[in-house]
A = this chain, B = another copy of it.
Amino acid sequence: MNATAEEQLKQARDEFVAQWGALGTQWGINRTMAQIHALLMTAPAPLSTDDVMADLEISRGNAHTNLKELVAWGLVRIVVRKGDRREYFEAEKDVWKIFITVARERKRREIDPALGVLRKCAEISEDIDTPEGKAFFDQMRQLEEFVEFASKMADRVAGMKHGFALQMAAKLLG
């Protein structure tokens, strides 16, 4: 009887999955991964690899790789059901937890390596005794200092509970 409502919902989810995938691309995340994430975030129950393959019309290898990548990011959990050998996948739906997870992961993948580069470049330029050498060294130090600051902020925010973050936000925005 709810054929129409179901169709509408299907259409809405398809739209979300497609658009979220496109956004992912702009974000430097691969399209399929973003689509799977969107699909799982809006799924009423965990999905199997075959469900994902069927819904997005992608190959097994692609589905598998990206599902595991999402698991590695900590955005998706594996669920096993009694008497069923398949793995099912379930996305974290709490937006604050998603945010924290992404923030942690991006810090690890983007901020920490940057710090390494900056420290190294500061070190090898430390003793250059010309005005230009000093300027270069200073620039490295300023970048390093800032990235370190960003890193600490990220840690701090990532450690917040949802409620506290909202509280802080209220103060900051009010």
Which of A's residues lie within 8 Å of B, judged by CB? 2, 5-6, 8-9, 11-13, 15-16, 19-20, 23, 26-28, 41-42, 44, 93, 95-96, 99, 109-110, 113-114, 117, 120-121, 124-125, 127-130, 132-133, 135-136, 139-140, 142-143, 145-146, 149-150, 152-153, 156, 168-169, 172-173
**Cβ–Cβ contact A133 & B5, under 8 A:** yes
Residues of B within 8 A of A23 (CB): 110, 113-114, 117
**Cβ–Cβ contact A172 & B146, under 8 A:** no
Give the complex CA separation of A127 and B8 in angstroms.
9
Please, which residue of chain B has its CB at the minimum distance from the CB of A99? Answer: B146
**Cβ–Cβ contact B169 & A125, under 8 A:** no
Shortest C-beta distance, A89 to chain B (Å), equals 16
Residues of B within 8 A of A16 (CB): 117, 121, 140
Contact for A20 among B96, B99, B117, CB less than 8 A: B117
- Known interface pairs A9-B125, A23-B114, A44-B132; 7 further A-B residue pairs with C-beta atoms within 8 A, sorted by A's residue number: A5-B128, A9-B133, A15-B120, A26-B113, A42-B139, A93-B139, A95-B143
Residues of B within 8 A of A127 (CB): 8
Contact for A124 among B15, B41, B114, B139, CB less than 8 A: B15
Closest 9 CB pairs of A and B: A28-B28, A95-B146, A12-B125, A19-B117, A16-B121, A5-B130, A12-B124, A9-B133, A95-B142
Please, which residue of chain B has its CB at the minimum distance from the CB of A150? Answer: B99
Please, which residue of chain B has its CB at the minimum distance from the CB of A166? Answer: B149
